[in-house]
Chains A and B, each alone.
Chain A
Amino acid sequence: MQLNHAAVGGTEESGDVFVEVSPGTGKLELEITSKVLVLYGESIKKSILETLSRLKVTDAKVIVKDKGAVDQTIRARLVTAIFRAADMKENLPWGDL
């Protein structure tokens, strides 16, 4: 999936996560901040990479500011940001998520 511009999803409220995605420079770049990074950093990274893979995003910069979100919230906010960055509003690929 091609990202056309930068876009965000989520919030910095407790229990949520703020995600910003933007077109990359030929590769995936991932930046994660979280108070629980030591405990859950690998798990968060895995969710991010799996979601990017499902949506075939291979060229992007992804910034994740976690505020204690659960796994499905992290995935949902990333998907939101990707759809926005790709200008996808209708006929979304729900079956691929």
Chain B
Amino acid sequence: MSSKNRLRRTMMFLSTQRAGSIRDAYIYAPDSIIFDLEDAVAVSEKDSARVALYHVLKYVDYKGIERLVRINGADTPFWKEDIRAAVAAGCDGIRIPKCETAHDVEIVEEQVLKAEQEFNRPIGSTLLQIAIETPLGVRNAYELSIASERIFGISIGAGDFMRSMHARRRDDGAELYAARAQLVLAARAAGVQCYDTVHTKVKDYEGLERDTNLIYDMGFDGKSVVHPSQIPIIHKVFTPTVPEIEKAKSIISKLSNEAKEGVGVFMVGDDMIDVAMLEGAKRIMALAKAAGADKGE
């Protein structure tokens, strides 16, 4: 069973239509794989993609990488069977596209529960990820984040959102700033994770790094990926520096010692430290560990 709070710096989309692309995806070492049954699959191959999905989830060892499934929208005839196939095969979670209201989440959760019962999966084991792709979805981000106990995170999909907004893409991300800020705010208030949209210019590594630095500084937990070459760039941004790691270690160590002596506030270098910084320090150490940047000495 996947954990709601596991590390998700990179979530790589894979078209489930193409046999060759889905079976070896673990070699690129993303934190999560999102098997796509929606936009990347032609309508005439929805059935075939679903069967292929079932077989890879059931029979391929993804070496501990989280396996999520983006289902088709509730305005299509495909989504209920998508859920049955994904849950029967034991996926870790379902990504719900184009969420706007809590109702969009509730109808999916109902089908997930039915599928868990039908295929003898542990009840509650299938997590949910919310994809927000419209202005109304952004406005309702908090309501969406708390719509189900199964929700581990929310994400923004910029393609549809930009079209709805009549906005134009900019290199500095200004056109998405309001939506990104509202999403990360809602996610933090609800206690779930938050992920950024894909960078669709696959060979624009400089732009990807700039975008990733922005969302990392804003507090996002990760970013969606459309090509394996994007993964190391995002992981690098999400890898804490040596001074950040040393400081986090000091905070964790000193908070532990000082707490025994009843001291709530103390200094690390020139910075005043209190217990509110413990969570951030632990997050830095988790990122460092995932990146192999801290050997735990």
A33 near B: Cβ within 8 Å?
no
B55 near A: Cβ within 8 Å?
yes
A92-B85, A94-B88 known; A71 and B59 CB under 8 Å? yes
B81 near A: Cβ within 8 Å?
yes
Give chain B residues whose Cβ lies under 8 Å from the Cβ of A92. Answer: 81, 84-85
B56 near A: Cβ within 8 Å?
yes
Total number of B residues with any Cβ neighbor in A under 8 Å: 22
The CA of A94 and the CA of B60, in the complex, are separated in Å by 17
Give chain A residues whose Cβ lies under 8 Å from the Cβ of B51. Answer: 9, 76-77, 79-80, 83
Query: What does DSSP make chain B's interface, helix, strand, loop or mixed?
Result: helix
Give chain A residues whose Cβ lies under 8 Å from the Cβ of B47. Answer: 80, 83-84, 89
Total number of A residues with any Cβ neighbor in B under 8 Å: 27
User: Quick one: which of B19, B81, B85, B88 contacts A73, CB cutoff 8 A?
Assistant: B19
A43-69 contact mask (Cβ, 8 Å, vs B): 1 or 0: 000000000000000000000000001
| B119 engages A76 (CB within 8 Å) | no
| B55 engages A75 (CB within 8 Å) | yes
A37 near B: Cβ within 8 Å?
no
A1 near B: Cβ within 8 Å?
no
Which residues of chain B (39-61) have a CB below 8 Å from chain A? 47-48, 51-52, 54-56, 58-60
A62, chain B: closest CB distance, angstroms: 16
| B85 engages A76 (CB within 8 Å) | no
Give chain B residues whose Cβ lies under 8 Å from the Cβ of A80. Answer: 47-48, 51-52
Give chain B residues whose Cβ lies under 8 Å from the Cβ of A26. Answer: none
Which residues of chain B (46-92) have a CB below 8 Å from chain A? 47-48, 51-52, 54-56, 58-60, 80-81, 84-85, 88-89
Which residues of chain B (1-47) have a CB below 8 Å from chain A? 18-20, 23, 47
Contacts A77-B52, A80-B48 known; 4 new A-B pairs at CB < 8 A:
A72-B60, A76-B54, A83-B51, A95-B88
